[in-house]
Structure 1
Amino acid sequence: MNAPDSDFAAARALGSAGRELPWVLVVDDEQRSQEAMRRTLDEEFRVLTAPDAEAARGMLERHAIQVVLCDQRMPGLTGVEFFKQIRETWPDVVRILVSGYTDSHDIIAGVNEAGIFQYVLKPWTPDHLLGTVRSAVEASRLQHGLQRLELDLRAGPRALQQRRDATLREVRRAYDFDRIVRAPGSPLDGVCAMAERVARYDLSALILGESGTGKELLARAIHCASPRMAGPFVVVNCGAVPDTLLETELFGHKRGSFTGAVEDRIGLFQQADGGTIFLDEVGDTSAAFQVKLLRVLQEGEVRPVGSSRTLPVDVRVIAATHRDLEAAVRAGSFREDLYYRIAGVSLEVPPLRERPGDVIAIAEQLLADVSAELGRPASGLDDDCRAVLMGYPWPGNVRELRNELARALALSDELRLPARALSRRLLQGQTGAAASTTAAALPAAGRLQDRLDAVEAMILRETMLRLQWNKTQAAAELGLSRMGLRAKLQRFGLESPP
């Protein structure tokens, strides 16, 4: 290998933060499958491939491999049989079984005998495979941290306690309540304080709030602050899945139970066993499905579609909805007994328009996140941009704010995001805190001249913001003289920022 190649290989082995990329081994007798996985994982991991168990063992002996993905059906040893050997010789390696067939015997053997981390079905999607391997690498990292924790036991209780606390802080940091961005004195403070208090108790919770307010983020924080933190957190949007599919999605099904059921499916309740399941938009479910869901919550067991046996599950349920469930109960569209089953504790996340003090804090965090995702540097928001964001009512809440910032960042070349990069509907919404459209900005009643003045002020404001208060350009665009424009700005009290 010549010097440039050597330098490239050394740089390739390091991540963006200068740390070595983790080793991942793909074991599959099909060359196409090997290459497909390599292409998917190669950007974030150092990927090795092997056609069989014998070649894979040699690589495990030579490299500090953290994760192994192995096909179940191969010549010689099956994936489960090979993972049994790995478990005995290299117990710290995280094992992921890949298969195009869902055989319950393989799954049970893989979990009980081979200690697999996860089961990936073919055909897999790149995003799913990449996310699974990322989780496996994180599990490997935490496992090594726990091993170091055990060594500290010999150093005494104090060292053990310090390492334990550090490990727990690291795990919880990503979704801690402090990560829910808000300004001091925000209405969210009370919601988060209540959620943090009840998180330690194994109670069901119902999170109410408009779409895009961050209900899932609050649910994750509850899970991470609970005794179930080490268990899975499983999310399902009940409103996005038809009733006929929602039952199999949550409870699973047996092969042949209906047309198209060509393999067994493990339901999300089983996948969430020992952890938390988040039922988003539970208010959109039908009365027939509500009966089935109530039985699962009451009995603590699920019965897959087409199966005659029930399976016990130990799951904490956090539900969410944008609907008024109490009104739905009174109207008869939501079961009262199910409501009281899921609403052990009710938490309401206020919409963004009711907490305007949070807008800038959230916008700055979202700007940093979007800037990193797009690879487009940004240092903040200019004063006009802040004023526009503060005055808009955000009917789409945080989700709309994020989309607006991503759009503006893509359209602007400046480090400090200017107001003119924002969409026109935001700029026009500045005539009133409750205005989101031209019609909404108009007075509800009054003289014709007063209503025309409101429209004229809105147009002037939007134009000046978009043109950065350049009066010459604004006058030319609006067909006014500079003197006429200045008079109108004075009349409506519109002044450029200092």
Structure 2
Amino acid sequence: MRTTPEQAGVLVVDDERHSVEAIRRTLEDDFVVWTAASADEAQDVLQTHADDGDVQVILCDQRMPGTTGLEFLRAVRERWPDIVRIIISGHTDAEDIIAGVNEAGIYQYVLKPWMPDQLLELVRDAVEARRLQNDVRRIDLEVRDGPAVLRRRLHERQDAAQARYGFRAIARGEDSPLEAVFDVAERIARHDLSVLLLGESGTGKELLARAVHQASPRALRPFVSENCAALPDSLLESELFGHKRGAFTGALQDHVGLFQRANGGTLFLDEIGDTTPSLQVKMLRVLQEGEVRPVGATRAVAVDVRVIAATHRDLEAEVRAGRFREDLYYRLATVTLSLPPLRERPGDLQAIVAMLLDEAASELAKPHDGFSEEAMACLLSYPWPGNIRELRNEVFRALALSDTLRVEADALSPKVRLGRAPVTAAAAGLPRITGGGPLQQRLDAIEAAILRETLLRHRWNKSRAAAELQLSRVGLRQKLQRLGLEAKK
């Protein structure tokens, strides 16, 4: 089994059969997957496939009989350093995590139980990181080509980054509520001001942070991101500020923190509202003094970093409640931008769906002819509590399940077909009837919701809907005309 340029190879190593099968099912549509129940079996796979570059990522359980995951990946690092190494474990031992980062060059430490979507995205990022690493090596070899060639290639890469991460790359419709946000963001991007991004999870805060970075004088310098809610406090401190060898048990070598890695560029701190007060004090010191002191170091290191922070929390309320430091809040919130949720941006949805559908077609190698009118009506009616992240999953799912070029409504998940989020009063197909208004108007709203839900289930087959509702076809048509539902086909 050989990989192709479009499909990377992943080796899964775990002695638990059900765990291996779960990971294989999660990844097999996107990657060539090999499995092994032990380090010895994994070595056999690598002997056959690694030297040709077919294995690009290893997912390995930490605690296995015989050779542990950490020991195995340490050996992999020595012989095949280009393979991206990821540990999966059900144990949150900080010493194991730190040892993995230091000794085996672990790319990421995943805790069980993992979420399929998040694991798939992590492996995609790992493959992309490996590709970028190889690009950097190639560029290093091409330095001998001379400054003119390098200048041209630098501009080409800058243009490509702008096309991929700039403001224009963020999909939206005409007269989008985002335009006002982007107008402010573009104007402040060229100034070295800290920015605080507010908004629900999945609204695109990291995309906006990258766009600000690309529009700034720091665009050619690193953009580094960290989710502050994803790591325990002690590990997050080491990740952000770095540590010196011997600073604590398991610190076998120096570790450069993210502030230093982002030097000259931008550091994006997602979910800053989830940090503890003790860590907030240390962040404030870095922002005030422009220098970072790695754990165990005797001297501070100067850093020049623009910080863009983001949170789904109301930080002003967190400050009032004493859970977030007021002085750090004002350091971060020089400019505050709020991203509206997707349900408040109905005019953006079609543009976002078109972009996601093209992305899905490319990744799944499956052509399409867009969504049908009925399917698009369902997408427009659903409130998307998970915002763009949820919409992306739905579009990918629908295209994968579609048997025709035109993606029909029956490829959508039941909750989206009904146009209602689950666990709400509306899940039964009834609208909210709180508030004022004439009785007939409110009864019409209820009747319209019942008719629309029934028609959606029957894919707008009026004969079946009329039979279920015990109406004549003529009577159903008259109700649809009176309630203005015909146009929603």
Task: Pick the aligned partner of 1:173 from 148, 163, 172.
Answer: 163
Q: Is the 8 A contact 2:162 2:214 kept in 1?
A: yes
Aligned-partner Cα distance in 1 for 2:240–2:45: 30
Shift of 1:170: 2.8
2:50 is the alignment partner of 1:38: yes
Q: What pairs up with 1:85-484 in 2 under 5 angstroms? A: 121-122=104-105, 127=123, 130-140=127-137, 150-151=147-148, 165-261=155-251, 263-429=253-419, 437-438=427-428, 441-444=431-434, 454-476=445-467, 482=473
SS in structure 2 of the partner of residue 319 of structure 1: strand
Q: Which moves more between the two structures, 395-404 or 299-308?
A: 299-308
SS in structure 2 of the partner of residue 138 of structure 1: helix
Q: Is the 8 A contact 2:84 2:107 kept in 1?
A: no
Shift of 1:172: 2.5
* Amino acid corresponding to residue 471 of structure 1 in structure 2: K
Shift of 1:166: 4.5
Partner of 2:63: none
Aligned-partner Cα distance in 1 for 2:52–2:330: 45
* Amino acid corresponding to residue 201 of structure 2 in structure 1: S
Highest CA radius of gyration, 1 or 2? 1
Alpha carbons of structure 1 residues 216 and 133: separation in structure 2 relative to 1, 3 Å? same
Aligned-partner Cα distance in 2 for 1:438–1:39: 57
Q: Is the 8 A contact 1:206 1:320 kept in 2?
A: yes
Shift of 1:175: 0.8
Aligned-partner Cα distance in 1 for 2:260–2:44: 32
Q: State percent identity of aligned pairs.
A: 52
SS in structure 1 of the partner of residue 368 of structure 2: coil
Aligned-partner Cα distance in 2 for 1:255–1:296: 21
Q: Which moves more between the two structures, 254-263 or 313-322?
A: 254-263
Partner of 1:55: none
SS in structure 2 of the partner of residue 278 of structure 1: strand
Alpha carbons of structure 1 residues 186 and 99: separation in structure 2 relative to 1, 3 Å? closer
Alpha carbons of structure 1 residues 421 and 282: separation in structure 2 relative to 1, 3 Å? same
Aligned-partner Cα distance in 1 for 2:268–2:364: 29
Shift of 1:492: 4.3
SS in structure 1 of the partner of residue 229 of structure 2: helix
Q: Which runs of 5+ in 2 are unaligned?
A: 8-41, 58-74, 87-101, 109-121
* Amino acid corresponding to residue 392 of structure 1 in structure 2: Y
Aligned-partner Cα distance in 1 for 2:153–2:232: 47
Q: Which moves more between the two structures, 187-196 or 396-405?
A: 187-196
Shift of 1:297: 1.4
Alpha carbons of structure 1 residues 144 and 124: separation in structure 2 relative to 1, 3 Å? closer
Shift of 1:221: 1.3
SS in structure 2 of the partner of residue 416 of structure 1: coil
Alpha carbons of structure 1 residues 481 and 228: separation in structure 2 relative to 1, 3 Å? same
Alpha carbons of structure 1 residues 473 and 338: separation in structure 2 relative to 1, 3 Å? same
Shift of 1:352: 1.7
Aligned-partner Cα distance in 2 for 1:184–1:36: 53
Alpha carbons of structure 1 residues 99 and 488: separation in structure 2 relative to 1, 3 Å? closer
Partner of 1:89: none
Shift of 1:379: 1.8
Q: Which moves more between the two structures, 374-383 or 254-263?
A: 254-263
- 1:86-118 deviation digits (Å, cap 9, x = unpaired): xxxxxxxxx979999xxxxxxxxxxxxxxxxxx
Shift of 1:368: 1.1
SS in structure 2 of the partner of residue 318 of structure 1: strand
Alpha carbons of structure 1 residues 259 and 480: separation in structure 2 relative to 1, 3 Å? farther
Query: Aligned-pair RMSD on alpha carbons?
Result: 4.2
Alpha carbons of structure 1 residues 372 and 193: separation in structure 2 relative to 1, 3 Å? same
Q: Which moves more between the two structures, 122-131 or 446-455?
A: 446-455
* Residue correspondences, number: 408
Partner of 1:66: none
Aligned-partner Cα distance in 2 for 1:457–1:420: 21
Shift of 1:285: 1.3
Shift of 1:295: 0.9
Alpha carbons of structure 1 residues 71 and 231: separation in structure 2 relative to 1, 3 Å? farther
Shift of 1:233: 1.6
Q: Is the 8 A contact 1:212 1:397 kept in 2?
A: yes
Aligned-partner Cα distance in 2 for 1:234–1:345: 20
2:486 is the alignment partner of 1:495: yes
Alpha carbons of structure 1 residues 247 and 411: separation in structure 2 relative to 1, 3 Å? same
- 1:247-300 deviation digits (Å, cap 9, x = unpaired): 122122344544554554332222222322110011121222111111111122
Shift of 1:137: 3.2
Shift of 1:350: 1.9
Partner of 1:106: none
Partner of 1:111: none
Shift of 1:378: 1.6
Aligned-partner Cα distance in 1 for 2:338–2:144: 41
What TM-score results when the alignment is normalised by the length of structure 2? 0.70
Shift of 1:443: 0.6
